[in-house]
Every structure is written in structure tokens, then in C-alpha cells.
Chain A
Amino acid sequence: MTRRGWIVPLAALALIALVPGLRAVALGFLDGAFGGRNLFNLWSTLSRASILLGMAIAVLVAFRAGLINLGGEGQLVLGALAAALVGIYAPLPGWAVASAALLAATVAGGLWGMLALWLDRGLRVPLLVGSLLLNYPAVQFASWLASHPLRDVASGSAQTHRIDGAARLPRFDGTILDYGIFLTVAVALLAILADRYTVFGYRLRMQGLAPDFARAQGMPTRRLGYQALFLSGAIAGLTGFTAVFGFAQRYVDGMLTQPLYAWTGIVAVLLAGMVPWRVPVAALIFAVLATGAGGMERVAGIPRESAQIVIALAILWLAGSGRSPMPGRGR
């Protein structure tokens, strides 16, 4: 940033610090994102960051391979649903239930992702549109299951029964943050390292950056595409598993769609310029924005949807400044 570039943010900071009303709002934001009793809000920020990280990495894998997968929402929800089904019905010891649910979630998400690519390759429905349209049946199906056959009627809302205590992901002592964050961070690390250091990562990247070159080099582009979409969907499914076995402890209708996790994940990847190591940073920033906005709502009555507006404006600004890379679109 040039020296003049610092003036505006500094002036803004000074203004916030000096004007009492603004200072209260800013403190509310900080408290909402990092404070609370026993740092409750900090843990919920990290919990949200974990989900966003998972969704962003899922998007990243597909985007790096030049495949515009907008079906993260459906893959996430189906993964969560598969996890919940196994979690409720599998008559196994706790650790086995969790492992089986994790497997089911990744497979469900992955297959839904592959289906989107098959629609593109097999039936010529553009991936962009096909993957997006697949979200609706998935989300509606999950909503139906949660509100009819799987419903925990006694609870009074559209949600499944709770996952058995022994199978749930444990929480850090005295916090609401669960070990699911280990899973998403591990996946993120693997993805970042694989992108940089493995042949598979290189091939995916080449396919995204220069598909003709990849084909000319004799790369199995067809198989690579399906692998990328399976991975992308599987990571989304895994994220769904961490939500069901982690903070929610069950599948609640709308819990994954209402906060726009999938869309925010896409925006995080775009804002990170599709540079892998920047993606976790972007995911964390968006989580802070969302919980911080909750704090501003409590302090100053500013609706928390302000966070979504900020995210949208950020992506529009980015697009307008000509720094928005989109896979396979020559920019």
C-alpha cells in the first residue's frame, strides 16, 4: 500500500476512537467477535470460521481445477444429512458411529458434486447452472426429512434427534468450540500443501489455468475433473459432518443454509484471489464480520445482516477493481 493509502483507514480509526457513539458500536463489534463471558463469542467466531473454512476449501479445490462448482450448499446439506442419519440409526459404539458418519458425509457430498459434473460432461448442462440447481432438491429433501420422517417431535421444531453423547465431537474444556475445527484445519492444510507440492495438485492447477495445455500434455482431464468435483463435494460433506456432530449435535432445518455458509465460502475464495494460503485468512475475517455484526446488533440495534452487506460490497469492489479471478474465464 502506498503511503497515501494509509490515510483513509487511519482517519476512519481515529474517527471511531474519538466519536463516542461510533466507539460504542466498534466496541460492540469487538465484543461480539472476541469477547463475551468466558470468551464465549470468541469460541463461536472460531466455530463459525471452521465451517466457513471447510466450505471455502471445498470451493477452492474445484475452482483451482477450473470448475465453477456453485453446488456447495447442496453438498454441505447432504453431507450433514448423511452424517445425521448414521449418527441416529447406526447401532455402533461412539467412535465407530462418528467414523461411519464422517465417511457417509464425505461420500454423499462427493457424489452430489460428481453428479453436477456428469450433468455438464454427459448432458451438456453447464456446471455453473447444473451444480446450482442441484442445491434446491438437496436442501428441500433435507428440510422434508428434518420436518417429517426424522423429526424429533418432542422438541417442537424441525430438527432431527440428537446425536448420542458418546459419538459427538468433544469440545474444548469450558467452551462451545468442538474438535471439528481440527478436521477442517487439517483438510485445509492438506489442500494447501497438495496444491503446492503434489503432482495431483499441479495437474488440477494446470487444468484450471490452461485446459488445452493440460490436455496436450496427456493429462487425464476427464478423470481429474471428476476427482476434483468429488473432492470438492466431499470436503463440503465433511464440513456438514462437523456441524452435525459438533456445534449443533443434530440436523436442524436451515442451520446450514440460513447463514449463507456456501456463498460466503465462495466469496472467501474469490477475495483470497484463489491463492490457497490466503483462503483461511479470508474465512476467519468473514467469521469475525458475522459474529461482530451480532455484537453491533446487541449494542446499537444495527441489524446483523450488515455483515452480509459488507461481504457483498467487498466482492463487488473486488470485481470492479479488476482483481477478481474466475476459473476458466481468461482473467
Chain B
Amino acid sequence: MIWDATFFESVPRFVTPLLLASLGGALCHRAGVFNIALEGMMLIGAFFAVVGSYFTAHWLGGLGAAVASGLAAGALYAWVGVRRGGDDIVVSIGLNILAAGLTAFLLRAIFDQRGQFDDPAIATLPRIALPGIDAVASLGPLLSGQSVLFWAALALVPLLAWGLTRHRLGLRMRAAGDNPAALRTLGVAPERIRTVAVLGSGALCALAGAQLSISNVSLFTEGMSAGRGWIAVVIVMMCAGRPVWILPAALFFGLIDALAVRAQVFGLPQQLTEALPYGLAIAVMAVALRRAAFRVRT
């Protein structure tokens, strides 16, 4: 059966990176930065999570290193793309290539490995067991024993939704996107706000990467983000950067990912199931963008 405990257990594992990266992308989207470097930021985060976790032998070290590297990537983006006014697409392409090159380079330089690095010394994220729910069929494996990042990502949804509608910084982010001139009149530099947004997206994407590399597995593979950053870009566009809509969208694509992996058990070749989310992303986007409210400005 496809709907067994293994399947339900795997769903949050696929949802978490998509959700985190999409929320990061949403910050940029709302602040008027067309950040399509989510893929690269994820990859950097995945690598440095392994570095931090390996050398500190603690998952917090992994998360710390991931966030630091994500902030650094965000800072680079902010410097070139926001401060120096570089074109978002060009900067993003540069950052994505940098991420691919740098992680492969450091994989050789630090661990002397090509392609992949795994080691039992890499500490993985703790899983949170929920005593009462454990026993419930299908709900048990779905919710109990998931990584801390899953719950953190879920908690971020209402937090960001609230922040973007109620908090001063969130409102300023939206102003930076919708009407930077008004923000400037207020005496606030939109560049400053955008820098905060880009830094935030760097940190969140890096956490998404950490979920890939030190949660259910403890290894880094070259190109490990494998296009998930682009699915996140699609989610952000479809949802116009609204956290409350991003949650179901991320759940949907995470579910598809989980289904695709499960389908391999039934003999479908891995390459074909891996192509599925991308084909579906195009289709879903085509449907979502039929409505004017979702129309994208790029």
C-alpha cells in the first residue's frame, strides 16, 4: 500500500525544506526583490550544516553554521543586488553558480571528497516525539518524530503572516515592494528594508538546506538541493508571497515529492518520478496565474 506509515512519516520531511525556502522567498517577493537564488542559498546551507554539525558534533552547531552561511550569501546578494543596484536575475544566476562551485570546491578542500560526503560524526537534528499522538493511525507517523525544523517552519507561517500585516518591519517590507517612494517619504530607505528581507531569505533557505542534509540523512551531495529552490520560487509566485497561502502550496508540493519517492517502490524509474514535481509545477502555475490576483510582475 502506498498510504502506509512510511509514507506519512516522509511527508513532513519533504514539506519542510519547501516551506522554509518559500517563506524566505516570500520576504524578498514582498519587499520587491526578485530573488531566484533560493536554490543556491539552499545548497550553501545544506553544505555548511554538514560542516558545522561535523566539527561541533552537535546539531545546533550545524544549524548555526547553516544560518551563518545563509546570512553571508544573503549579504552578498544584498551588497551586489540591493546596494549596488545589480539586476536581480543576473545576481541570482551568479549566486546559484557560486553556490554550486563553492560547495563542490570546499567539499574537496575540507573533506577531500568528490561528489558526496557522509560520516557518522555528523550530528542530525533531534526528532520531537509526541507521546499522545504516537498511537493514532497515520496521524502518529505524520506528526510525531519529526525534526525540529518542521515545527519551526510551521510556527513561522503565522508569525510571518502576522508580521507582514501587523508589525512595523513587515509593513515596511511590503511598502518597499509596493511603493518604495512612499517609504522614502517616511524617511526610511527601501534598500535597508530590502537588505533585511534578503538576509532573512538567506537564513531561511539555509535552514531549508539543513533539513535536507542533516535531518533524515547525514550527508552532503553535490547539487543536493536538486531544483527544490526553483519549486519554492514557483510557490512564492503562485501565492504572491502570502505566507498563509504558501503553507498549503508547500504541503501540496511536499506531498507530490513524497508520492514520487513512494512510487519508486512500485517500480517506477527514479528519473521519471523526479521529473513529476517540475511538470506539475508548470501546470499548477498555469492554473493559478489564470486569476488576475496572482499575476506576476517579474
Chain A residues near B (Cβ < 8 Å)? 68, 119, 123-126, 128-130, 132-137, 140-141, 143-144, 147-148, 260, 263-264, 266-267, 270, 303, 305-309, 311-313, 315-316, 318-322, 324, 326, 329, 331
Contact = CB atoms under 8 A, between A and B. Distances in A.
Nearest to A315: B94
A319 B91 contact: yes
B contact patch SS = helix
Given A134-B278, A312-B97, A320-B86, 10 more contacts: A119-B282, A123-B286, A125-B285, A130-B285, A140-B271, A266-B93, A308-B98, A309-B98, A311-B97, A316-B76
Given A126-B296, A322-B86, A324-B90, A260 B100 contact: yes
Contact of B101 (A148, A305, A320, A326): A305
Contacts of B290: 124
B275 A270 contact: no
A126 B288 CA distance: 12
Interface in B84-123: 84-87, 89-91, 93-98, 100-102, 104-105, 108-109
A126 B297 CA distance: 9
B95 A312 contact: yes
Interface size class of B (residues with CB under 8 A): 35 or more
A256 to B, nearest CB: 14
A307 B95 contact: no
A72 B229 CA distance: 18
The residue among B89, B91, B233 with the most chain A CB atoms within 10 A of its own CB is B89
Contacts of A303: 104-105, 108-109
A188 B79 CA distance: 35
B101 A311 contact: yes
A100 B208 CA distance: 46
Given A124-B286, A266-B93, A324 B87 contact: yes
A316 B80 contact: yes
A322 B87 CA distance: 8
A261 to B, nearest CB: 12
Contacts of A326: 87, 89-90
A126 B101 contact: no
Interface string B228-255: 0010011001000000000000000000
A137 B87 contact: no
Given A126-B298, A140-B275, A319-B84, A260 B282 contact: no
B279 interface: yes
B90 A133 contact: no
B282 A134 contact: yes
Contacts of B102: 305, 309, 312
A74 B91 CA distance: 22
B272 interface: yes
Contacts of B296: 126
B217 interface: no
B81 interface: yes
B97 A308 contact: yes
